Amino acid sequence: MSKLSRYAFIAAVAIFLSGCVGQREQPAPVEEAKPTPEQPQTPPTTVPTVPTIPTQPGPIENGATQPEQPAPRVRHYDWNGAAQPLVAKMLKADGVTAGSVLLVDSVNNRTNGSLNTAEATGVLASALKGNTTFTLVSPQQLAVAKQQLGLSPQDSLGSRNKAMGLARTVGAQYVLYSNATGNVNSPVLSMQLMMVQTGEILWSGKGAVAQQ
């Protein structure tokens, strides 16, 4: 081989080797970072606040005891002690036809206070039970008659005219009209036996009522 050919071969080898070295030293391509998809942001959780209820202050104990209010006094009367002797006298009154119908009107309160007149009325009706002079108007007849006249079952007639009208409705010939009068602490039971047809007072009497 000639010198020229040898130089040409060496130059070719050198070029080849320099190309290989250049390829090895070339840095690898850097991949572009892909953008990360944005995550949907979760709204912060809000915890509702519970309103604070103010505590009511309790009663202030000052060490002093309050005086107890006295209970209202309930009066009890001996209605029977007053009614029995009066009824006995009324049954012996002149001008009374035996077997007639008698209406016992409710006892009216004419005192200066309050008292249980329903109890007094019941005592009068009990005192007349079993008598041989009058036939009493029953509570059922009385209730029906009051309904016909537009009166309530608890209505206390209060006047002689109302008592007479009710007696005519139930077919009674006589009315026993009664009042409690005077001081409420020592009332007086006043009774009048009246004839329905004429309004005449055939008998009247009164007696003191004692407290029990």
- 3-state SS, one letter per residue, for the chain: CCHHHHHHHHHHHHHHHHHHHHHHHCCCCCCCCCCCCCCCCCCCCCCCCCCCCCCCCCCCCCCCCCCCCCCCCCCCECHHHHHHHHHHHHCCCCCCCCCEEEEECCCEEEECCCCCHHHHHHHHHHHHCCCCCEEECCHHHHHHHHHHCCCCCCCCCCCHHHHHHHHHHHCCCEEEEEEEEECCCCCEEEEEEEECCCCCEEEEEEEECCEC
7: number of Cβ within 10 Å: 10
Contact 162, 191 (CB under 8 A): no
CATH topology for 113-208 is Rossmann fold (3.40.50)
Report field, pTM of the whole predicted structure over 0.75: no
Task: Determine phi and psi for 131, rounding to 5 degrees.
Answer: -75, 155
**Which residue blocks in 28-186 are alpha helix, DSSP H?**
79-90, 117-128, 139-148, 160-170
pLDDT single digits (tens) 97-147? 999 999 998 899 999 999 888 999 999 999 999 999 999 999 899 888 888
DSSP secondary-structure letter at 96? P
Domain ranges of the chain: 113-208
pLDDT single digits (tens) 23-34? 544 555 555 545
Token duo for residue 129: 């039970």
Average pLDDT estimate for 62-67? 58
Q: What is the mean pLDDT of the chain?
A: 79
Contact 210, 101 (CB under 8 A): no
